[in-house]
């Protein structure tokens, strides 16, 4: 099943500026924050991960009828290589999720495909 999401980078930047650590720790894992902090495009990096998590939520719910929390989805990978996703919810760790992320100045977008086994 496929999920897609697009988000304004300014929306994520505003949330970080308004809510700070509380927002960041509720949405992103330590690994995600560490990765994005090392990027020149910090807010776009966070936005792409937000869009990815939303896309995964949508696809995952369609397949399994389970609504994940943002903190149960971890987006990881190396710059220049396709992103990967780990599901951190007990019992679903081995689910295969394929994603594609992209961002530019104003928006970030992601598509997720959850494979039902």
Q: What backbone phi and psi angles, to 5 degrees, belong to 10?
A: -65, -35
pLDDT tens sequence across 69-111 = 999 999 998 777 899 999 999 999 999 999 999 999 999 999 9
At residue 24, the pLDDT reads 98
Q: How does residue 54 score in pLDDT terms, banded at 50, 70 and 90?
A: very high
Give the domain CATH number at 73: 3.90.470.20
* Host domain of residue 96: 2-115
Q: Counting beta carbons within 10 angstroms of the beta carbon of residue 36, is it exposed (0 to 12), middle (13 to 18) or buried (19 or more)?
A: buried
Q: What backbone phi and psi angles, to 5 degrees, belong to 33?
A: -65, -45
Nearest to 110, CA basis, from 33, 28, 47: 47
- The Cα 58–Cα 80 span in angstroms is 25
Looking at the 3D structure of the chain, how many domains does it have? 1
- The Cα 99–Cα 113 span in angstroms is 6
At residue 78, the pLDDT reads 77
Q: Which residue has the tokens 């990881």?
A: 76
């Amino acid at each position: 099943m496929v999920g897609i999401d697009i988000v304004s980078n300014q929306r994520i930047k505003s949330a970080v500026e308004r809510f700070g650590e509380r927002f960041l720790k509720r949405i992103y894992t330590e690994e995600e924050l560490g990765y994005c902090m090392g990027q020149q495009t910090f807010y776009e990096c966070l936005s792409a991960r937000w869009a990815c998590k939303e896309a995964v939520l949508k696809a995952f719910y369609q397949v399994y009828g389970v609504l994940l929390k943002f903190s149960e989805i971890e987006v990881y990978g190396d710059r220049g290589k396709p992103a990967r996703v780990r599901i951190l919810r007990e019992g679903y760790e081995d689910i295969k999720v394929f994603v594609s992320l992209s961002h530019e100045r104003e928006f970030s977008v992601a598509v997720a495909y959850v494979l039902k086994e």
